[in-house]
Structure formats: structure tokens, C-alpha cells
Amino acid sequence: MNIVIIKRLIAIFKRITRSHKKDYEKRYFDTLKNLQDLKFALDESNLVQIVDKHANILYANDKFCRLSEYSFQELEGKNMRMLNSNFHSTEFFKDLWTTVTQGRVWSGEMRNKTKTGKYFWVNTTIVPFLDKDKKPFQYIVIRNDITKSKENEKKLEYLSNVDGLTALYNRRYFDSMLDYYWETLSQKQNSLSVILFDVDYFKCFNDTYGHILGDQCLIDISHQVKDCLSLYEAVCARYGGEEFAIILPEKDLHEAYLLAEKIRLRVEQLNIPHELSIKSKWVTLSLGVASIIPNQVMKPKELLKSADRALYQAKDNGRNTVALNDEKLFCLH
């Protein structure tokens, strides 16, 4: 081949090679810049972690470090379990890991714990990185802080379940919790007790002192009740105008009676004037107590009816007293 032609071909090849090289370099740097831009956008808008297949932390961005109160040096190499708040069940994490180890994306809400023991909620998406055999070798964990919205949600739920005057629970919440404890304790075969009580001659009190002092009377009583219940797992509700109800899980008739008597004395000792009361010159309570080991044959409302009968018995006995339902079905001692 003519040497001149060869030289020309070599020159053309070099120009093409330089052109392709520049094109490849441009594509490489454009791709790199796009990845850097994506990382910047992700880091600025989300809490990001990268973990290995054993959930050991390889990377955590600044936003996550600030929220968790850990530095990256404290997180690096540690297992994600260090953030566990013990809120979620074993089944929750089993479902999570079953999903991601199969190469699928998992999404859900999760409560974590900071370095100083505070709780925070995050909306979490876990995306597997797959190897050539389509097996996960790393995971990117993308989170959004939803702590405030969860707190607002909890406040709204609380407000929907609470009586506006006394700050005790309302009747709807009481009934739902009675159903819950009935089901739970029927499985455990343990006692469930209820106390119903109301203010003696409260209509007369309102007529004498007015509704403002009537409301204050109910508020003062609720404070005493809450103080008496502070050491118990209990649900206390304003069940009607001046009627109150208490659920006492895992307490028998005798234990419930002692608590009811304590409440009666505490309210009497407030010395709230009630000059036209037939029973006393102070505000007093009548209380009815019933108890049972729940079962699947009966219904929770039957326990309430039993406590209500005891309450009326207390009124028949002269008021300012505690009465127990004397039906053998409900007596546990």
C-alpha cells in the first residue's frame, strides 16, 4: 500500500480516536455530574443510609446523623439495631427482611431511638442493590422525618378519646378498652373489675351553686381519682354527666373495693360544700364494684350492668358508700 495513503489513514484514525475519546470522556463526566447532582438532591431532601447485607452501616448522610444524634464515626460499621426503639414486633422486622432479601423494595413507618434515648418516626424505603446473580449485597435506606406529624396524629387521637371538662377518657374510649381487656383477660383467665360511681345529689348541687361550680366540682373529683389511679394500670372515664367509670385489669373484687373506698374517702376529704345534700354537708360519692374472670360466653356489658346494680345498691344503702355486686357469678373471693 502506498506509504502516503497509510499515513493519511493513520491520521484519520487518530482524529477519530481523539473524537471518540473526547465523546466518551464527556459522557463519563456528564454521568458523574448527574450522579453527584442526584446524591446532593437526595442528601438535601432525605435521611440516607447505605448498609451491607447484614444491616451494618456503611454510609449515613449529615441529615440522618443530626436526627439520630450520632456522628458518622459512631455509626460506621455498627448494625442498624442500635437505633431500635423496641416499639415494633418481631413479625414487623421479619416481614421487612423477608421482603428486601428477596430483592424487593420495602416501605413503611418506623420508630427509632436517638443517642440520648429520644424517639423519632421516619417514613422508610429500603431499596436492595443486586449483584450479577440478582442477590442483594447492599441496601440504600431512604427516610423522611415524620415525627411531628405522628405527634400531631397522637394528639388528635388523644383529644378524640378525652372528655373536654375533666381530661378523663370519654365513654367511647372506655367501651373500646373494656372490649380489649375482656378479650385479653379471657385468654389469660385473669380478673377484670369495674367501678362505677357518681356524685350524690349532684343535680341539687348544680341548682344550688350553679353550673360553673358544678363543673369545678367534677374537675376536682377527677384530679383525686387520677391521683388514686397513678400506680395502677387503669382506664378512668367520665361516663355520663356526673357518672364515672373505671376499668381495673387483673384486679379482683377485693382489690377493686379497696380502691373504690380510697376514692370515696379522698373526695369526701376535699370538703366541697354541699349544704342541701340529704347525706352530708360535703360532696360525697356512691360507688358500685363488680368483678369477673372474662369468658367467651358472656359480654363486657354484663360486667357493666353488674357494677351498675351495685351502684344502685350503694344509693339504697344511704349513699356515700361502696357496694359490691353480690351475685355469685361476679364474686371472686
pLDDT tens sequence across 140-154: 999 999 999 988 988
DSSP-assigned states of every residue in 41-79? HHHHHSEEEEEETT-BEEEE-HHHHHHHT--HHHHTT-B
Residue 223: which CATH number?
3.30.70.270
pLDDT value at position 159?
85
In a domain, 194, yes or no: yes
pLDDT value at position 77?
95
Residue type for position 121: W
CB of 247 closer than 8 Å to CB of 178: yes
Q: Which residues are catalytic?
A: 242
* 293: phi then psi, degrees, rounded to nearest 5: -95, 110
Judgement on whether residues 200 and 118 belong to the same structural domain of the protein: no
**Residues contacting residue 15 through CB under 8 Å, at least 6 positions apart:** none
Judgement on whether residues 277 and 295 belong to the same structural domain of the protein: yes
Q: Rounded distance, CA 112 to CA 144, Å?
A: 12
* pTM to 2 decimal places: 0.62
Helices (H), 84-195: 90-101, 147-160, 171-188
Asked which of 151, 184, 213 is the last residue of a domain, the reply is 151
CB of 126 closer than 8 Å to CB of 106: yes
> Which of helix, strand or coil describes residue 14?
helix
Residue 79: which CATH number?
3.30.450.20
Q: Rounded distance, CA 182 to CA 205, Å?
A: 36
In a domain, 87, yes or no: yes
Judgement on whether residues 267 and 174 belong to the same structural domain of the protein: yes
Q: What is the DSSP letter of 162?
A: B
Picking from 249, 246, 251, the residue whose alpha carbon sits closest to that of residue 235 is 246
Judgement on whether residues 192 and 306 belong to the same structural domain of the protein: yes
Domain of 34, in residue numbers:
3-151
In a domain, 140, yes or no: yes
In a domain, 156, yes or no: no
Judgement on whether residues 313 and 178 belong to the same structural domain of the protein: yes
Judgement on whether residues 71 and 129 belong to the same structural domain of the protein: yes
In a domain, 297, yes or no: yes
Judgement on whether residues 236 and 317 belong to the same structural domain of the protein: yes
Judgement on whether residues 169 and 281 belong to the same structural domain of the protein: yes
pLDDT value at position 329?
43
Element (H, E) at 111: strand 106-113
Asked which of 126, 151, 176 is the last residue of a domain, the reply is 151
In a domain, 175, yes or no: yes
Judgement on whether residues 53 and 193 belong to the same structural domain of the protein: no
Q: Which long-range contacts (CB under 8 A, 24 or more apart) does 260-265 make?
A: 260/195, 260/197, 260/287, 260/289, 260/322, 261/287, 261/322, 262/228, 263/195, 263/197, 263/224, 263/225, 263/228, 263/287, 264/197, 264/320, 264/321, 264/322
Asked which of 151, 169, 201 is the last residue of a domain, the reply is 151
Distances (CA, A) of 119 to 60, 93, 145: 18, 18, 11
Judgement on whether residues 141 and 234 belong to the same structural domain of the protein: no
Judgement on whether residues 186 and 204 belong to the same structural domain of the protein: yes
Q: Rounded distance, CA 23 to CA 29, Å?
A: 10
In a domain, 183, yes or no: yes
CB of 268 closer than 8 Å to CB of 209: no
pLDDT value at position 328?
44
Judgement on whether residues 310 and 168 belong to the same structural domain of the protein: yes
Number of Cβ within a 10 Å radius of residue 105: 11
Beta-ladder partners of 113: 119
Beta-ladder partners of 206: none
pLDDT value at position 236?
96
Count of domains forming the chain: 2
pLDDT < 70 regions, the chain: 1-45, 326-333
In a domain, 246, yes or no: yes
